[in-house]
Amino acid sequence: MEAAQTIKNLPPYLFARIEKLTAEAKAAGKDVISLGIGDPDRPTPPHIIAKLIEQAQNPANHQYPSSVGMLEFRQAVADWYQKRFGLKLDPKTEVVSLLGSKEGIAHISFCYLNPGDLSLVPDPGYPVYAIGALLGNARSYPLPLLPEKGFLPDLQAIPDAVAREAKIMFLNYPNNPTGATADLKFFQEVVEFARKYDILVCHDAAYSEVFFDGKAPVSFLQAEGAKEVGIEFHSVSKTYNMTGWRVGWAAGNAEAIDVLGRFKSNVDSGVFQALQYAAITALTDSQDCVKEMRQVYQERRDVVVAGLRKMGWNLEPPQATIYVWAPVPKGYTSSSFAELILEKAAVVITPGLGYGERSDGYFRIALTQEVDRIQEALDRMQAALGVMEF
């Protein structure tokens, strides 16, 4: 039995070698510290778990849910946007539930790209932005995110012919993996760009609540006219330590929300209602757990930045997300440096190559270990490598 050509076209898993070397190190008895995976290490807050248990015991929740989500859940999302960003959303027409934001990000390309069509994707960027187009036999055009531009794409540098051909633009702020944020001025420029070229903007805002130094990021939907040209993806995953729960949403342009909802009604049966009730609790109850989580990540960020600076890195602390994005030292690729760190220090970092062709000169550290383990990892790196040259 032969797999479809679209599956054959999928790129190889770029972290396979790192995973293999990690498994070998563990098998050899090494104490491996992983700073590679972007998965919160703290548990989901207890009040959210309690709501899931309560609702899982209700037989009414054991049947097929609505594919677009319970109205109560969509209302909770709309209320959260009103409270957090001052935005008014119609829960009936401008919000759709997702099996985590990743699912919607992948599927929106199927909704709008015909074979051969073009989408604009950030580089570095979450691989799913481009994979959705690839699976639909469409194409992607990379938008370089450069440090001198604050890791924002230069819209003026996109060739006119490319912009006219593009149907979708993916953006992600706060940004994985760079930790950069975007302001309303930039988002306003995006709206005007999308209007000019008739492009659907798909903004991934999954890290909007993981910010530092009291500087809360804005939503793309706050830009004037944003709902005319785009949608925003979000979820409870990173905000409430609920990555495994798979509850998210898309919000914004009513036509795009309807199209995505119609697609979903044909490929899945919606989010288990007990999970939706738990997500409602997360969004509507006290947000003290989110504030505590921010403090935890900020302390970890500061430890990582200080440790890398000691070893020769000239780094500005990231403004948001659970990552630190840093250049590799002179003489290394992202993969060779990741392998060196694993071999010499038994520490796992993520090579930048997995996030785009222009990312090979970087690596990513995830802030998903307790401070003492992060400090131990940095101490090991310094003992093994000393001060690096750049």
pTM higher than 0.85, yes or no?
yes
The span from the CA of 200 to the CA of 253, in Å, is 9
Return all residues near 231 (Cβ < 8 A) that are at least 6 apart: 108, 200, 201, 202, 203, 250, 251, 252, 253, 256, 257, 260
- φ and ψ at residue 265, rounded to 5 degrees: -65, -15
Residue 254: both structure tokens together: 């009513």
Q: Which domains does the chain have, with CATH numbers?
A: 5-43+289-385 (3.90.1150.10), 46-284 (3.40.640.10)
The span from the CA of 120 to the CA of 52, in Å, is 38
Residue 234: both structure tokens together: 């979000």
Transcribe 191-247 into DSSP letters.
HHHHHHHT-EEEEE-TTTT-B-TT-PPPPGGGSTTHHHHEEEEEESTTTTT-GGG--
pLDDT by position in tens, the chain (length 390): 998 888 888 877 666 777 888 888 889 899 999 999 889 999 999 999 999 999 999 999 999 999 899 999 999 999 999 999 999 999 999 999 999 999 999 999 999 999 999 999 999 999 999 999 999 999 999 999 999 999 999 999 999 999 999 999 999 999 999 999 999 999 999 999 999 999 999 999 999 999 999 999 999 999 999 999 999 999 999 999 999 999 999 999 999 999 999 999 999 999 999 999 999 999 999 999 999 999 999 999 999 999 999 999 999 999 999 999 999 999 999 999 999 999 999 999 999 998 998 899 999 999 999 999 999 999 999 999 888 888
Preceding peptide of 318 cis, ω within 30°: no
The span from the CA of 106 to the CA of 120, in Å, is 14
